[in-house]
Amino acid sequence: MSYGKRRRTGYDPASIQEYTFPIENIPRLSARDPEVYRLIQASRPVVISDSGLINSALKWNLGYLQENLGDGSFHVYGSKDNRFKYYDEKRAKQCKSFPKPVKRYEVSFNDFLKMLMEKKNTRERIYLQQMLNESVGQEIVKDYVDFNWDWVGRIQNEQGWGPLSSNLLLIGLEGNITPVHYDEQENFFSQISGYKRCLLFSPDQFENLYPHPVAHPCDRQSQVDFSKPDFERFPKFRNARAMEAIVGPGDVLYIPMYWWHQVESLKSLSPIDHKLRDFSTTTSSGSSGDIPPVTVSVNFWYRAAPLPATVKFPISAQQRVSVMRNIEKLLASALGSADEVGKLLSTMVDGRYN
């Protein structure tokens, strides 16, 4: 069930997964509308349709990227299903019993293209995510310089945000899902090609989304799998309610810090012509590979504004999450291991605070 109008153009509605929670629409406004800046000021999500932020990148098809991305190495994640659940490598090494949800490869862009062709036939799905850095070719640098930095820089200053920490280039297969999680940075999520469905949940829904413990490799990720929610373990997930934006080329979605988001690559109705230069179309398996359709996005992560000098009460949901994180970290270090944090918190709370 979804309230209000859902954007209907460009993607195949059959590629929209049905979930158990109600969904409202995130406002989609022009950069000329003052309401955009009121929503950003209030740390509320909004889609800006004509910011021009990444117009210079709208020509980034795979052929252009192959030509100009340079010969650096790229992080490519592989998943045996369509979910790409992030995990922290260091923490994963510490807990032996942790089954790694995704595999990580370091490959050249051409190898990534080969993987795209070969993965067409295998179960494994792949997702490239690579920080845009100085290893990229001159043309990409030019396009990057031509981003609308005046527009985004003005917001960064007006909001008192910290520095831009990174821009991640994301190239995924249609059907790829980044499961619901939150990040501790402000994000201008920009869509270059293809369509992505972004489901957002406000930070005050922490108890509905049951994040893993902070010390867990999947810190900041929800334990709930939307496609098969375990209501016995996570009963409050019944109270979750989402806001949704379907972003297409040129759209920018403001994802406020601490807001939960799940991102799903939809099936595009007009597959892109990748203009792949004389790419050997016969893969090692000999099948004449045509590249499967992909989505391309780039995000802009900004460090948070410094905390205000005086705390206003009642504290915000974001501040509540930050306090809980600090308590979990403090207890894990005070007790020497994260395993006893739960027991100690129950001892503190049971019969005393509840």
Ligand X SMILES: CC1(C)c2ccccc2-c2ccc(C[C@@H](CC(=O)O)C(=O)C(=O)O)cc21
Residue 184 as a binder of Zn ion (CB under 5 A): the answer is: no
Angle 94-99-104 (CA atoms, 0-180°, nearest 5)? 85
3-state secondary structure of 92: helix
Q: Are 179 and 81 in contact (CB under 8 A)?
A: no
Nearer to Zn ion, 67 or 88 (CB): 88
Q: Residue 193's binding partner, choosing from ligand X, Zn ion, none, with beta-carbon cut-off 5 to 8 A by kind?
A: none
Rounded Cα–Cα distance for residues 113 and 101 (Å) = 22
The piece of 181-189, 208-216, 232-240, 273-281 that touches ligand X (CB under 6 A) is 181-189
Residue 189 as a binder of ligand X (CB under 6 A): the answer is: yes
Sign of CA dihedral 325, 331, 333, 336: negative
Neighbours of 338 (CB within 10 A): 19
Rounded Cα–Cα distance for residues 341 and 327 (Å) = 10
Nearer to ligand X, 83 or 274 (CB): 83
Least distance (Å) from Zn ion to the CB of residue 183? 4
Size of the site for Zn ion (CB under 5 A): 1
Residue 84 as a binder of ligand X (CB under 6 A): the answer is: yes
Residue 190 as a binder of ligand X (CB under 6 A): the answer is: no
Residue 115 as a binder of ligand X (CB under 6 A): the answer is: no
Rounded Cα–Cα distance for residues 40 and 47 (Å) = 10
Least distance (Å) from ligand X to the CB of residue 14? 20
Least distance (Å) from ligand X to the CB of residue 181? 7
The correct pick among 118, 124, 139, 183 for binding ligand X (CB under 6 A) is 183
The piece of 109-117, 175-183, 192-200, 279-287 that touches Zn ion (CB under 5 A) is 175-183
CA distances from 282 to 46, 117, 121, 126, 289 (A): 43, 9, 13, 19, 6
Residue 43 as a binder of ligand X (CB under 6 A): the answer is: no
Residue 268 as a binder of ligand X (CB under 6 A): the answer is: no
Residue 129 as a binder of ligand X (CB under 6 A): the answer is: yes
Rounded Cα–Cα distance for residues 204 and 73 (Å) = 39
SS3 content of the chain, % helix, strand, coil (to 5): 30, 25, 45
Kindly tell me the burial class for residue 242, based on how many C-beta atoms sit within 10 Å of its own C-beta (0-12, 13-18, 19 or more): buried
Least distance (Å) from ligand X to the CB of residue 352? 38
The correct pick among 124, 183, 184, 340 for binding Zn ion (CB under 5 A) is 183
What residues make contact with ligand X under the rule CB under 6 A? 77, 84, 86, 127, 129, 168, 170, 178, 183, 187, 189, 261, 263, 297, 299
What residues make contact with Zn ion under the rule CB under 5 A? 183
